[in-house]
Structure formats: C-alpha cells, structure tokens
Amino acid sequence: MQVTVTTRTRSSSIAGYAAIALIVIGLALPAFASRSLIQDLFFILTMLTLAQLWNLIAGYGGMVSVGQQAFVGIGAYAMFAGVILWGMDPVPAILLGGVAGFLLAIPMAFFAFRLQGAYFAIGTWVIAEVTRLIIAQWKTLGGGTGTSLPREATSDIMGVEAIAQLFGLRDAAARDVLAYWLALLLAVGTMAAIYALLRSRTGLALAAVRDNDNAAQSVGVDARRVKWMVFLAAATMTGLVGALIYVQTARISPDAAFSVTTWTAYVIFIAVIGGIGRLEGPILGVLVFWGLQTAFSDYGSWYLLALGLIAIAVMLLAPRGLWGLIADRWGIALFPVQRRLILEGTRHG
C-alpha cells in the first residue's frame, strides 16, 4: 500500500523555528544580560539537562533510577582529579567527567539490571551511596570534607580572558559566561540527541521495551542492548553535566556532589511536574521549579515539604504532568515523536 509516515505537526514546525531563535538569543545573551541572570540560566540549563537525561532512562526507557547523583558526583570528582592531580585546565577536564560517568555506569548497570521496578530504584540509590562513601576516602581530593579548585587553575581557564575582553567583564563574571555557554551547549546537544534517538528506529525499540520487555523480545528487539545503550549514554552525559556544575562552583564535597536531594529528587520533581516521557515536560518543569526555588527556598524545610505536596498534587490531578494537560487540551506537541500513518489520497480528506 502507498503510504506516507509523518511525525510533523503544525506546532512542531513553529517550535523548530522558535528553538533556533532561542538558541541564537541564548548565545548572544551575555552581551546584555546581568551576571545574576547568567547564573540563574546556568542553574536552569544544567537542571534541565539532568532532567532530560533522567526522563530518557525513566520516562522513555522505564528504568526509574534514584542513583543519578552517582554520575554527577563521580563526574565532578573526575574533573577535580584532572585539575588537582594532573594539572589539567578545568574545561577539558570536564570530558573526564563523561568518561568517569560511563565507567561507573558499567558496574551499576551490571548489578541494577538484575532488579525490576522499585528494587531497581533502590539498587541504584544504594550503589550511589557506596560510591559516595568510597570517594569520601580519597584524601588527596579532600576526603569527607571536600576541597576547592586551586587558585592558579581557576584564574587561568582557557577562553576566560578572551570573554572578559570581548564583553568588558571581570574574570569571575567571564568564568560564569563560559560556564553558561557550555551549559547551553550541553542542554541543546542533549535534547537534540534525545530527540534524534526517539525519532530513530531505536526510539521505537526503547518504547517497546518500556511497555513490555517480553513482547519486545518477541518481535526481535534486543531489549538488553537497548537498555544498556541508553543507560550508559545518560550516565556519560550526566557525568559531563556534573563536572561542568563543579567547574562553576569550584568547591566540592562528597555530600554536596553526591546529594540525592539536589541531583535526583529535584530532577525527578522537574520531570514529574512537567510531564514524564515527553521532551517538553522537563522544559516546563524546570521553569516552575526555578520559580519556586527563587521565591521560596529561604523557607528551608517548609519549602521542601511544599515541593513534595506539589509533586503529589500534580501526580494525582495531572498524572501526565503540566505539559500533559496542555497537550491534551490543545493537542500541541512541540517535539513530536509519534509516527502517524497517512494513506495516499486521504491526506486532505
């Protein structure tokens, strides 16, 4: 039969142009934005990237990990090791974060993939805690109390001088601009890669494995391979993000770098309230989260309680997240992945 298959929707074409415009504006932003806005955007972009990566493995792959802080932490520590032990420049040392995330993901997947559902979630958490405890023994990198990037390393990061001159900034502000650009690069690169993956044949396999592992194998999908591939890729990218975050803060401790609250609970919050299993979800979720964080984070534990209540309310009232509500009401999909079958001759019918 003569058929056409499309994923395109009217809103997706508009979204494509809007995304390109936003990226261009994002790149040019340091020329006129304040330093505090650049810092806020750095936070938003890095949390967005982490949420997209968690969404990839949990929302699309069905692997609900509560151990993503392991990759943030190991990535950050690998970058610190590169700078402190081997005298690397912090920016290329970020790549070590990716390598470390990848390497840690191999034993983690080996053990955790034997577990299902809630056991998988707890298993990943336990492995992350074990990693934190081991790293806290590493005395040259500050042990349990942590350490800072040495002054000579942070004062001489590649590209900072050029940025300082270009925008007429002091070194500290120029470092923020560099970190922001790298965060923008990672966020855009991650989302583009996930979108491409979901639109490829592997995207179908991933959804099939999530919905029914057994049936997926019965139509020829190599479920194990798909899960490994996605888990390793997400861990690598999470390691890169972790390293970048700690280039910006320049100070590390095991408790902060392996924090389950910051790097997994917040990240899950973002994905859940935005909408799991769709690229638009974390984008909306991170903006809501950032708004709440800016307005209420001074309230300490009350703030955390409120976050929990909001998450519960969204799960009960809008199980597919806030973006799910929007998509259902107006039928909008900015990054559609659903393949629709159009029969020849009925295209306009």
Enumerate residues 312-341 that contact other proteins by CB under 8 A.
338-341
215 binds other proteins (CB under 8 A): yes
Spatial CA neighbour of 329 closest among 275, 269, 254 = 275
Beta bridge partners of 147: 252
d(CA 329, CA 28): 35
194 binds other proteins (CB under 8 A): no
Amino acid letter, residue 50: L
Q: Which of 161, 222, 255, 328 binds other proteins (CB under 8 A)?
A: 222
Instruction: Tell me which stretch binds other proteins (CB under 8 A): 65-73, 130-138, 198-206, 252-260.
Output: 198-206
d(CA 149, CA 117): 39
Number of chain positions touching other proteins (CB under 8 A): 28
Amino acid letter, residue 260: V
Q: If phi over 0 gives left and psi between -120 and 50 gives alpha, with beta otherwise, what is residue 200?
A: beta
Which positions ≥6 away from 114 have C-beta within 8 Å?
none
d(CA 90, CA 251): 12
Q: Tell me whether residue 164 or residue 216 sits nearer to other proteins (CB atom).
A: 216
10 binds other proteins (CB under 8 A): no
Q: Tell me whether residue 7 or residue 262 sits nearer to other proteins (CB atom).
A: 7
201 binds other proteins (CB under 8 A): yes
Instruction: Tell me which stretch binds other proteins (CB under 8 A): 131-139, 155-163, 215-223, 241-249.
Output: 215-223
The CA R_g of the chain, rounded to the nearest whole Å, is 21
Q: How far is the CB of 311 from other proteins (least distance, A)?
A: 22
DSSP conformation class of 247: H
Q: Which of 179, 205, 230, 244 binds other proteins (CB under 8 A)?
A: 205
DSSP conformation class of 297: G
Q: Which of 198, 210, 230, 267 binds other proteins (CB under 8 A)?
A: 210
Q: Say if CB 53 and CB 237 are below 8 A apart.
A: yes
Q: Rounded to a whole number, what is the distance in angstroms from the first to the last CA of the chain?
A: 17
Distances (CA, A) of 120 to 115, 207, 208, 262: 5, 18, 19, 20
Q: Which of 5, 31, 316, 317 binds other proteins (CB under 8 A)?
A: 5
Q: Which helix (H) or strand (E) holds 213?
A: helix 213-218
Q: How far is the CB of 221 from other proteins (least distance, A)?
A: 5
Q: Tell me whether residue 6 or residue 137 sits nearer to other proteins (CB atom).
A: 6
Distances (CA, A) of 91 to 36, 112, 228, 249: 22, 32, 28, 13
Q: Which of 19, 185, 204, 332 binds other proteins (CB under 8 A)?
A: 204
Q: Is 337 helix (H, G, I), strand (E, B) or coil?
A: coil
* Binding pattern for the stretch 249-278 against other proteins, x by CB under 8 A and - elsewhere: ----------------------------x-
208 binds other proteins (CB under 8 A): yes
348 binds other proteins (CB under 8 A): no
Q: Tell me whether residue 1 or residue 25 sits nearer to other proteins (CB atom).
A: 1
DSSP conformation class of 29: G
Q: Tell me whether residue 133 or residue 219 sits nearer to other proteins (CB atom).
A: 219
Q: Tell me whether residue 25 or residue 341 sits nearer to other proteins (CB atom).
A: 341
Q: Tell me whether residue 132 or residue 210 sits nearer to other proteins (CB atom).
A: 210
Q: How far is the CB of 277 from other proteins (least distance, A)?
A: 7
Enumerate residues 274-303 that contact other proteins by CB under 8 A.
277
Which residues contact other proteins (rule: CB under 8 A)?
1-3, 5, 201, 204-205, 207-208, 210-212, 214-223, 277, 338-341, 343
